[in-house]
Structure 1
Amino acid sequence: AFIVGTFCGTLTGALGAFAILHSSFWLFCGATFLGGLYGAVAQSYRFAAADGASVAFRPKAVSWVMAGGVFAGVLGPQLVQWTMDIWPPYLFAFSFVMQALVALVAMAVLSGVDAPKPAAADLHGGRPLLEIAKQPRFIAAALCGVIAYPMMNLVMTSAPLAMKMCGLTVSDSNFGIQWHIVAMYGPSFFTGSLIARFGAPRIVALGLALEAVAAMIGLSGITAPHFWATLFVLGVGWNFAFVGASALVLETHRPQERNKVQAFNDFLVFGMMAIGSFSSGQLLAHYGWNAVNWVVFPPVLLGLAVLSLASFARRRAKLRALEEIPDPSI
């Protein structure tokens, strides 16, 4: 499955370059659709690593896999910067060729990974998905993921366009996106340890709060440093919220339920992200950069409220369980 995904990534680069060279918008849309398939598979790496880890190490496993994005943050924008003008006047055409080559490298790495095929007993059984999805813990985890990722994506995809509208350069945008991606994945080196120490709900809450802070920075000015600070804080907030929410999901299912629960969670998160991506351009074009930032606040407040309620319900359930334990002295 992972190698098929990287093959889609290779097709993305090849088809994207071809579309640019032939000025075909719809072919370019097809290329980005294949890029979405590549991204969907890549998002499953974190759960694959967690499934092969002990219960105590799972948050760190998710975190370490996400830390690989630091290299993307450094190399990705630089590859674009170095290659976007190689085939004038076809801006970015050669950048897509490089993207195809990077996907081939990923395919070569994945071909050496030993991920045993799950036993037939692990693919069936367990509770119905609806029963699992009704758990307050799962609702909070899924909702926080649904809020953290789409809100980050909404602001991130709008920022380069807003920077251009404000008279800033492509280099300014590349610099901002580069540090945004570093901020998205850099904290992963210690996010797992923070989750192990303070618990996933607190880290998720911190991440959502930071996304709100990023929106406040975005509302405070339209200079390049304002955009850069917005994107950087937004990336750190996304990391805490998304990694923490992923760790929460792992607490809501049994081993034989993992495939359907993880897939359902990602369907919710990335389905909403797709809606956010379509909305960001329209929102920016019709209402401006400030409106994009104002949209962040209501979902973040909703996520914090649901997370608090789920944590309160969990504490009450633990207290009831303790009260039901008979006193050994009686």
Structure 2
Amino acid sequence: MPLTVWGLAIAQALLSSGNILLVSVSALIGRYLAAEPWLITLPVACQFLGLILSTLPAAHLMQRLGRKSGFVLGNLVGLLGTWVALQGLASTSLALFACGTFLIGVAIGVGQQYRFAALEACDSGLHARAISLVMAGGVLAAVIGPNLAVWSRDWYPDNPYGGAFYGLFGLYLVALLLILLLPLPVARPVDRAEAVRSYRELFRQPLLLAAVASGMIGYGIMVLLMTATPLAMDHHQHDFPATASVIQWHVLGMFVPSFFTGHLIRRFTTRRVILWGCSALALSVAVNLSGQGYWHYWWGLLLLGVGWNFTFIGATHLLSFSYRPAEKAKVQGINEFLVFGAAAVGSLFAGQGVVLLGWSWLNLLSLPWILLVFALILRLDRRSAATA
């Protein structure tokens, strides 16, 4: 595997560590700064907004300037965001802190392009393994993120959670230095004579439709049920250590399979791996519906993580067969916008879903979407899917 792919895997680990770190502290800081209860999640909402709004511009910017310049700019925005967030903490300003998390969200949106950069850094026969390796950086993040949130509690004198942003600053700085050292592919001039299809024409391709739906629904369902799980466990009288254990194993289920997902794709085809992912998601729902004991949640969330891994990595690989070189930025950008838009919807709906519908109905409402992806992948022409 080329050195560049390994470097991108480390960069992805640093990015994911920052994401987990933010998840650990943003809502708690919002509660500290907010004057009204409904404003507590404003920093989290601003982070998602920055992520979603940056996806399309980031893809087009990188096609014009190259991956290295795009990633450098993204990390610089992340460094600026951490500084603005610290100023918000120092002045106890929720608005300023939320501006900081918005900028950090933009940096996260740019960093989502790491897996596409890995595709360009190796031969087509290594694409599936390259995507898997980059996503496997999440295993390291599962260790760094939560521990950094704990270690940094004494770094900032006025707020026990402010030190997390010094830690986040350090992560972005290391990622910036790493990107500057990596021999990333330079920008290639786009052939202006090559026709670029409209979104309507592009989405008439069953391959693209299946790839985007797999990424959207796999990510959206995963975030929905993962975010709702702590609320459901608390409702069913599980203590916090039990909830933390379930979430930790869920994160491992998300990223540990990445070490062999690429090999599975090469051996059994992308189509079959995505179908296995849909099956794991459906099995997760079945386990969640079968009871509310600790092991029900443990197995349900572990299967949810594995299902996300297979659908997301499979979708990324499938997507790479659906566009021409001149359409790369357009397709990658709209894919990221839709996938992370679905994740944002899942995150925002989770709390209200548990309160209004209950844990069981929330799981039942996930099933039709999982079956939709299953149907879209099944109907792909076997020869084109096998090539992917």
TM-score tier after normalising by the smaller chain length:
0.7 to 0.9
Residue 226, structure 1, aligned to residue 306, structure 2: no
**Alignment check: 8 A CA contact 2:121 2:185 kept:** no
Output the CA distance in 2 between the equivalents of 1:166 and 1:83: 32
Counterpart secondary structure, 2:322: coil
Counterpart secondary structure, 1:117: coil
The Cα shift of 1:309 comes to 1.3
Distance 1:291 1:126, change over 3 A: same
Match of 2:66 in 1: none
Match of 1:146 in 2: 216
Match of 2:363 in 1: 293
Residue 260, structure 1, aligned to residue 330, structure 2: yes
Q: 2:118 aligns with which of 49, 58, 61?
A: 49
**Alignment check: 8 A CA contact 2:275 2:374 kept:** yes
Counterpart secondary structure, 1:239: helix
What aligned pairs does 1:164-183 form with structure 2 within 5 A after superposition? 164-183=234-253
Q: Which moved more, 1:304-313 or 1:106-115?
A: 304-313
Distance 1:137 1:274, change over 3 A: same
Output the CA distance in 1 between the equivalents of 2:83 and 2:243: 24
Match of 1:237 in 2: 307
The runs of 5 or more residues in structure 1 that have no matched partner are: 319-330
Match of 2:376 in 1: 306
What is the one-letter code of the residue matched to 1:65? V
Output the CA distance in 1 between the equivalents of 2:308 and 2:271: 14
| Identity %, equivalent residues | 36
Q: 2:79 aligns with which of 10, 19, 42?
A: 10
Distance 1:311 1:23, change over 3 A: farther
The Cα shift of 1:22 comes to 5.4
Distance 1:211 1:81, change over 3 A: farther
What is the one-letter code of the residue matched to 1:157? T
- Cα deviations across residues 115-145 of structure 1 (Å, max 9, x unaligned)? 2331223587343143232111111111111
Output the CA distance in 1 between the equivalents of 2:99 and 2:176: 21
Match of 1:125 in 2: 194
Distance 1:212 1:14, change over 3 A: farther
Q: What TM-score does the superposition give when structure 2 sets the normalisation length? A: 0.73
**Alignment check: 8 A CA contact 1:206 1:240 kept:** yes
Output the CA distance in 2 between the equivalents of 1:55 and 1:260: 20
Match of 2:56 in 1: none
Match of 1:269 in 2: 339
The Cα shift of 1:310 comes to 1.9
Output the CA distance in 2 between the equivalents of 1:12 and 1:296: 35
Q: Which moved more, 1:273-282 or 1:170-179?
A: 170-179
Match of 1:156 in 2: 226
**Alignment check: 8 A CA contact 2:190 2:325 kept:** no
Output the CA distance in 2 between the equivalents of 1:174 and 1:5: 31
What is the one-letter code of the residue matched to 2:218? A
The Cα shift of 1:302 comes to 0.7
Counterpart secondary structure, 1:310: coil
Match of 1:106 in 2: 175
- Cα deviations across residues 46-103 of structure 1 (Å, max 9, x unaligned)? 0111022212111111111111111011221222244457769845332233222222
Output the CA distance in 2 between the equivalents of 1:233 and 1:191: 15
**Alignment check: 8 A CA contact 2:120 2:185 kept:** no
Structure with greater Cα Rg: 1
What is the one-letter code of the residue matched to 1:194? L
The Cα shift of 1:298 comes to 1.0
Q: 1:36 aligns with which of 97, 105, 129?
A: 105
**Alignment check: 8 A CA contact 1:73 1:180 kept:** no
The runs of 5 or more residues in structure 2 that have no matched partner are: 1-69
Residue 217, structure 1, aligned to residue 287, structure 2: yes
Counterpart secondary structure, 2:183: coil
